[in-house]
Chain A
Amino acid sequence: MFYRLSGVHHANYVSDSRIFKVPADRNLAVFIFLIGLAAPFIIPSLYLNSYMLPWLIWTAAALGLNLVTGWAGQLHLGYAAVMAVGAYSAIHAARFGVPWEFALIIGGLTSSVIGSLFAFAALRVKGLYLALTTLAMQFVMDWVLTHSPAISGGSHASLQSPTLAFLGQDITSDTGFYYVAFGWCVLVTIFMLNLKRTGLGRALVAVREKDFAAAILGVNSFYYKILAFATSSFIAGVSGALLVATFFFLAAPEQFSVTVSIQVLAMVIVGGLGSVIGSYFGVALILLVPGLVNGLVVTVSEGLGMQINVETLAHIPNAVYGALIVIILLIEPLGLGKLYGNIRDYLMVWPFDQFKK
């Protein structure tokens, strides 16, 4: 009824390798893309600026982590550090006078180089050991940022970002920032959607499932792991740079601390490993829900005329938020993306779901 399908049947390889195997999915994606394009005109600037914009940039970042963790199956606890490398090198480049287009690429490449250099060492170990090694990278980066004023921008460790400009055009309006974030997020999304259709994507999945089995099939697992780290680091670097350029306007070590690394990992896990749409949901939950729940609790308590102590008021949303994560993972351990998938599958041939799906 909703999907106007009797099931998904492929008659040839072309249809099997389409990005959207169900036309309704494609239509939905186009519809959401159009909403995204029209957002500055239909969404109040507060929501555009404080919710949509960080949501899109963090989604791009989370997709990058999903590449390494969801697709290639390598735990990464130092993702924020990689974002920091990109952010700081891009801003320093821009402050040096390099146009932003190149500064962003420099940021991405620096991240990529440092991220994969580190992976060279880290990938000699696997699983939880790798996770700990990446955590070490995070601590190294934290230390570097708090101990080198030349990088972090003086004794306050805050580095002002120059005005963002593309093609000689200064970007200063909320709408402009939004479109930059939107464009980057769309780019990364398209890349990730296409990834599973490529040899690289299939190799990564093979490495994830069993790296020595992949090796037997002729997939050089070490090479593909490094490639996954390099690509994801590039996405992280550019996302980090854009986060500072369009949202924070200055870089500070706290924006890329270990808690942030864990938050991004939480976004990916709650959203669903290896799920593109899941990353969108996961970021929304981890990044936006605390603020929204906070606002909700405040409004409700004010509406009911309750005299709640400010401290209690601050902790209720945290409890609600924590409970929410636990409930979601109990209902569907594979994350929000899978939850969405379940609903979609249920509706796929509804109301004739007695037939084969």
Chain B
Amino acid sequence: MKKFTKALAVFSMVGGAMFGTQALAEPFKIGICYDLSKAYTFATPQVAQAAQDLAKLVNMKGGIGGEPVEVIVRDHGNEPQRGIECYSKLSREGVFVFDTLSTPVSLAILPRAMEDGRILMQSLVGRGDAVDGKVFDWVYPIGPTYWGQAANDVAYIKQLHDGDLSGVKVGFVYFDYPFGQEPIEILETLSEKEGFELELYPVPLPGSDQAGVWSKVRRDKPDHVIVWMLGGAHVVASKEMQRNRIPMEKYISVNWLNEVDIANIGTDAAKGIKRGTNVVGGQDVALFKEIMTELYDNGQGSGPIEKTQDVFYNTGLAMYSIMFEAARNAVELEGLPITPTSYKAGLESLKGYDANGLMAPITVTAEDHGGGGQTRIEMWDGEAWVPQTEWISEYGDVVWDVVKESSAKYEQ
């Protein structure tokens, strides 16, 4: 009998522990279905680490509305099929905010998210026309679209030429597939509007051979070269530029250029290289310092500290600061528990939010799911990134024309 009561006591304790935890608050979960093993590994580890660190920090400060937050990181190997599997699995576990950081997977999940009413965050990837909130109710590509980014690059060049682009020659070097081709339409429209000459230089994938491209650039002598390439292709490009004696200052990269690329080019050789960005690069950021003192100094970081010295880590912090801030807004607006609709309202009440100076301020509305699309141009001075402009978002009308034209096709 004694044995039985003892067993009963143990059983009830175990049971209590099991059910007790379930009775606790359900954490607010974000499903991170990332490509951690194939094509996007130049950025995903840093971004995922930032997401985990930020979630830890939020929980240390008491969570959101008193509830803990959780980020669930899964690998999909950049395969649409596995991305859908990740989405379906997590959404059945009650996750309703997803991020993929992969264009093919984002495209594959989009119809399901729209159908199921789940939030699909797709900063910097996926279809750019999803900023049109009237068509894409559940998709939030917060941050600049590639169209907006290219337009801002042109605006920067216009600043350099004192507001007159006539007679200026702009080269566009791009990966010859949809990622790189996306800005062409905008650039062509702007070239007509502003009167600059546009030269296109397609680079065949994977971008390891660019000899022909850059000798052509040398012959054409464009004043600036806007570059839509990733990772190692920047390194190849810089080698070819040196060979052809094209000054680095002409190079204006898409946001996918990080410290690893700079180190591979050589910190000195990269002097003068420019990139468009929507986050502040470097470590002189309040949120970054807080994470360092609270987590990494105590050995609580979610990964190696080297990964944090990277602009994509800051990009990750920016993306997830937005997601957590939206959750806070949702709790403020409609209380707990957070639902897809209240979270949507939370996102759409973000106004001028810049995560304490970490990124370009964003304002999300029901019409504009992109948050305004501000970027700035930074230049590498050999040691750090020096901002060349304020946060700008120019040619909004031209960009939105393209957005509307494209999103109308989705509705058909």
Contact = CB atoms under 8 A, between A and B. Distances in A.
Given A298-B74, A311-B45, A158 B127 contact: yes
B176 A247 contact: no
A50 B88 contact: yes
A82 B77 CA distance: 24
Interface in A1-57: 45-46, 49-51, 54
Contacts of B185: 155
B177 A146 contact: yes
Please tell me the size bucket of the interface on A: 35 or more
B409 A153 contact: yes
A49 B176 CA distance: 34
A95 B74 contact: no
Nearest to B49: A310
Given A49-B88, A310-B73, A156 B107 contact: yes
Contact of B89 (A46, A253, A311): A46
B151 to A, nearest CB: 14
Interface stretch (A312-320, A334-342, A345-353): A312-320
B19 to A, nearest CB: 19
B406 A294 contact: no
B37 A318 contact: yes
Residue among A290, A291, A313 with the highest chain B CB neighbour number at 10 A = A291
Contact of A156 (B48, B73, B86, B178): B178
Contact of B81 (A54, A152, A156, A160): A54
Interface in A238-285: 247-250, 252-255
Interface string A102-130: 00000000000000000000000000000
Contact of A311 (B36, B78, B112): B36
A287 interface: yes
A333 to B, nearest CB: 26
Contact of A154 (B34, B302, B406): B406
A290 B78 CA distance: 12
A157 interface: yes
A46 B92 contact: yes
Determine the main DSSP class of B at the interface with A. Answer: helix
B412 interface: yes
B182 A155 contact: yes
Given A155-B185, A157-B178, A314 B75 contact: yes
A146 B302 CA distance: 38
B406 A156 contact: yes
A310 B36 contact: yes
A152 B73 CA distance: 31
A318 B108 contact: no
Given A290-B77, A310-B49, A315-B37, A248 B108 contact: yes
Contacts of B406: 154-156
Nearest to B185: A155
Contacts of B36: 310-311, 313-315
Given A290-B77, A311-B36, A315-B37, A154 B104 contact: no
Given A50-B89, A290-B79, 5 more contacts: A160-B412, A248-B108, A249-B111, A254-B104, A255-B108
In the A-B complex, the 6 residue pairs with the smallest Cβ-Cβ separation, listed nearest first, are A314-B75, A314-B36, A249-B111, A254-B104, A50-B85, A157-B178
Interface of B: 34, 36-37, 41, 45, 48-49, 52, 73-75, 77-82, 84-86, 88-89, 92, 103-104, 107-108, 110-112, 127-129, 176-178, 181-182, 184-185, 302-304, 402, 406, 409-410, 412
